Amino acid sequence: MNAATLRLLLRPAPGSAGVVVIPMVAFAVVSALVLTVVGGAQAFWQWTDDYALTYQILAAVALVLLVLPLAALGGAAARLSARRRDERLSTLRLLGVTGFGVGVVAVVESTLIAAAGVLGGVVLALGLAPLVGLIPFRGQSLGAAVLLPPWLMAAIAAGTVLLATVSAVIGLRRVVISPLGVRTRTTPPTPHWLRALIAVVLVAAGFVAGFVVPGIGGAIAMITALVAIFGVGLLVLNLIGPWVLKIGARMQLRRAKTPERLLAARIVLDDAKGAWRQVSGVAMASFMAVFAGTGVALMDVMSAGDPSAQDLALLTDMRTGLIITLVASFLMVGCSVAVTQASDILDQRDLHRSLHYLGVPAGTVDSARRRAVMSPLLITALGSALCAAVLIFPLLGIALITAPLSIATIAAVLAVGIALVWIATRLTRPLLMRAFAG
Q: What is the pLDDT of residues 128-168, one digit of tens each?
A: 888 888 888 877 777 777 888 899 899 988 988 887 787 77
Residues 141 and 230 in one domain: no
How far apart are the C-alpha atoms of 241 and 154, rounded to whole Å?
Answer: 34
pLDDT at 93: 65
Q: What share of the chain is helix, strand, coil (3-state, %, to 5)?
A: 85, 5, 15
Reported as a pLDDT band with limits 50, 70 and 90, residue 123 is very high
Residue 135 makes CB contacts below 8 A (sequence gap 6+) with 40, 141, 142, 320, 324
**DSSP assignment, residue 213?**
G
> What average pLDDT score do residues 111-115 get?
85
Output 401 or 179, whichever has higher pLDDT: 401
Among 161, 186, 211, the domain boundary falls at 186
Residues 151 and 225 in one domain: no
How far apart are the C-alpha atoms of 88 and 314, rounded to whole Å?
Answer: 57
Residues 391 and 371 in one domain: yes
Output 344 or 305, whichever has higher pLDDT: 344
Residues 329 and 247 in one domain: yes
Residues 11 and 30 in one domain: yes
What is the separation, in whole angstroms, between the first and last Cα of the chain? Answer: 30
Please give the sequence-ordered ranges of beta strands (E in DSSP) within 115-163, or none if there are none: 136-137, 140-141
> What average pLDDT score do residues 223-248 get?
77
pLDDT at 133: 82
Among 186, 217, 239, the domain boundary falls at 186
Reported as a pLDDT band with limits 50, 70 and 90, residue 78 is low
**Side-chain-side CA neighbours of residue 331 (13 Å):** 19
Residues 382 and 244 in one domain: yes
Q: Which of 47-51, 113-117, 146-150, 430-434 has the lowest mean pLDDT?
A: 47-51
pLDDT at 122: 92
pLDDT at 177: 53
Q: What percentage of residues in the chain have a pLDDT greater than 90? A: 3
Helical segments of 305-361, H only? 309-347, 349-357
pLDDT at 26 over 90: no
pLDDT at 119 over 90: yes
pLDDT at 383 over 70: yes
pLDDT at 349: 74
pLDDT at 73: 66
Instruction: Name the residue range of residue 49's domain.
Output: 1-186
Between strands 136-137 and 140-141, the pairing is antiparallel
Q: Which of 208-217, 260-269, 415-424 has the lowest mean pLDDT?
A: 208-217
pLDDT at 382 over 80: yes
pLDDT digits (tens, 9 = 90+) for 293-320: 887 787 777 766 666 777 677 777 777 7
Residues 153 and 221 in one domain: no
Residues 278 and 174 in one domain: no
Q: Is 359 left (phi over 0), alpha (psi -120 to 50) or beta?
A: left
pLDDT at 199: 79
Q: What letter represents residue 248's amino acid?
A: G
Residue 393 makes CB contacts below 8 A (sequence gap 6+) with 207, 210, 401
CA 299-303-308 angle, 5° bins: 115
Residues 292 and 166 in one domain: no
pLDDT at 385 over 80: yes
Around Cβ 17, how many Cβ atoms within 10 Å? 10
pLDDT at 270: 80
pLDDT at 237 over 60: yes
pLDDT at 182 over 90: no
Residues 166 and 211 in one domain: no
> Among candidates 156, 118, 371, which has minimal Cα distance to 257?
371
Among 186, 206, 222, the domain boundary falls at 186
Domains held by the chain: number = 2
pLDDT at 278: 74
Q: Which of 222-226, 309-313, 352-356 has the lowest mean pLDDT?
A: 222-226
Q: Count of residues for the chain?
A: 438
Residues 168 and 246 in one domain: no
pLDDT at 9: 55
Mean residue pLDDT across the chain: 75
pLDDT at 12: 55
Residues 179 and 246 in one domain: no
